[in-house]
Amino acid sequence: MLKNIMLKRICLHVEQQNSFSDALTACVQRITEQCPLNTIVGITFFIKACGDTDFYEKRESIEQTCNENFQNLPVSILSQPVGDGVAMEIWTHESCENLQHKSWCGLNYTTYSDAFGQFIWGLGMSANDSALSFREQASLAFEQMKTALSLEEFSFDHIIRQWNYIPEILKTHTENGRLYQNYQLFNDIRQYYYGIYKRNAVYPAATGIGMDCGPITIDFVAAKPNENTLVAGLSNPNQINAFSYGQEVLVGSAIKENENKKAPLFERAKYVGAKENAFVFISGTASIAGEKTIGLEDIKEQSQVTIKNISDLTSGDNIQSIGVKVSKKEYTYLRVYVKREEDFDLVRKVCNEKYGNIPILYVKADICRDDLLVEIEGETAIQLFS
């Protein structure tokens, strides 16, 4: 196996307990048994919630429990069911230096340095007020991200990976005779913040995915690479870059009248490499060729096309396009989003045939298009020719 010198995700699932409080107690025990606190970058929790009220109550319990046991540790809490109970992804890094969990006015984030440079991780950028409008929630999440970056003298230009969790991502509404979709509104707001706070047109790898309820939530990774590290975006030879999508595949209206809708601003993947080792963040990837959905209503075909897109994206030939030569490659973790409950078994079968024993978390979530049924993201460790 390749040595992953950057970080890894560990997935733990606590089955349904007598109460949610009991499940959280079991979560803490599992975390402390398997992961030393000085190696934990942050934790993503996946829970089942019956509406906003239930979600916010469970989120408060998780945050309180984590604050009591893991001071200042950043956590992200998502209304994305993984069966019964509570699922967790624990981001760990065993070879970094000076890992610190920091807090400013309730905003938690992690900093560390490793062979590639200096990093900041922000998880759970989101609102606490369920009464805020969608636009206010999105703006607040971006403002929190901006604050965390500024505290460490980073900027939006340093973001290399971003997760955008959007409640009712496909929901539309009409306002003053104009049709708005939640995902498109988010894209327009992202464009606004990137337009103000980014000095370049280089985008992070990203996932934009739905949640059942709760507030818009953003997680991010930002890096200041050292002089020996290359950070570069990877394009997919089968797909148009998302930031170049045409107006016809974007739903609804732009926020401002007489303006075009804004495309999703992200790279298909982000490469981080130095000397003999490298790492790739794989963006949320779906069954799209060019900018068109492939395999309408066919979950098997969509799963296979998605897997091929990831394979081609992370192939040695494709990575060589940024000037490096791959000796070995190994997927280290995958998260699979499945839209329909009845499709889980087939998606698992297809993924197991391709990926074998690679750790995979299967999550129920809406994808960013009505006709998409599955989406996959993850990480790849790479060994380079010296």
Distance between CA atoms of residues 118 and 241, nearest Å: 28
DSSP state at residue 224? E
Q: How far is CA 331 from CA 27, 44, 123, in A?
A: 26, 20, 23
Please identify which residue in the block is written with the tokens 């327009």. Answer: 188
**Which contiguous run of DSSP H or E holds residue 274?**
strand 269-274
- Local structure of residue 341 (DSSP, 8 states): G
Residue pLDDT, tens place only, 45-79: 999 999 999 999 999 999 999 999 999 999 999 99
Buried b (16+ CB within 10 A) or exposed e, 81-104: bbeebbbbbbbbbeebeebebeee
- Work out the number of other CB atoms within 10 angstroms of the CB of residue 279: 19
pLDDT digits 0-9 by tens, 115-146: 999 999 999 999 988 889 999 999 999 999 99
Distances (CA, A) of 233 to 82, 217, 268, 281: 31, 24, 7, 10
Q: What does 114-140 look like in DSSP terms, one character per residue?
A: ETTEEEEEEEEEE-S-TTS-HHHHHHH
Instruction: Take residue 243 and report the two structure tokens written for it.
Output: 């930031």
Rounding to the nearest 10 degrees, give the CA dihedral for residues 71, 75, 81, 85: -10
- Residue 256 is predicted with a pLDDT of 87
- All domains of the chain, ordered by start, with CATH? 8-384 (3.30.1330.40)
pLDDT digits over 291-342, tens only? 999 999 999 999 999 999 999 999 999 999 999 999 999 999 999 999 999 9
Q: Which of 303, 297, 307 is nearest to 370 (CA)?
A: 297
pLDDT at residue 4 greater than cutoff 70: no
- Indicate the range of 127-131, 136-140, 161-165, 239-243 predicted with least confidence: 127-131
Q: Which residue has the higher pLDDT, 276 or 209?
A: 209
* Contact yes or no for 264/162 (Cβ under 8 A): no
pLDDT of residue 18: 81
φ, ψ at 3 (rounded to 5°): -80, 120
C-alpha span between 151 and 9 (Å, rounded): 26
Parallel, antiparallel, or unpaired: how do β-strands 217-225 and 229-234 relate? unpaired
121 φ, ψ to 5°? -115, 125
Note the pLDDT of residue 2. Answer: 57
User: Is residue 226 scored above 80 in pLDDT?
Assistant: yes
| pLDDT for residue 223 is more than 80 | yes
Q: Which of 363, 342, 32 is nearest to 210 (CA)?
A: 363
Tell me the one-letter amino acid at 98.
Answer: N
Residues 78, 80, 84, 87, CA torsion sign: negative
- Residue 77 host element (H or E): strand 75-78
pLDDT band at 3 (very low <50, low <70, confident <90, very high): low
Is the pLDDT confidence value at 17 over 90? no
Residue 1 pLDDT grade (very low, low, confident, very high; cuts 50, 70, 90): low
The enclosing H or E element of 383 equals strand 374-384
User: Based on the number of CB atoms within 10 Å of its own CB, is 235 exposed (0-12), middle (13-18) or buried (19 or more)?
Assistant: middle
Q: Is the pLDDT of residue 6 over 70?
A: no
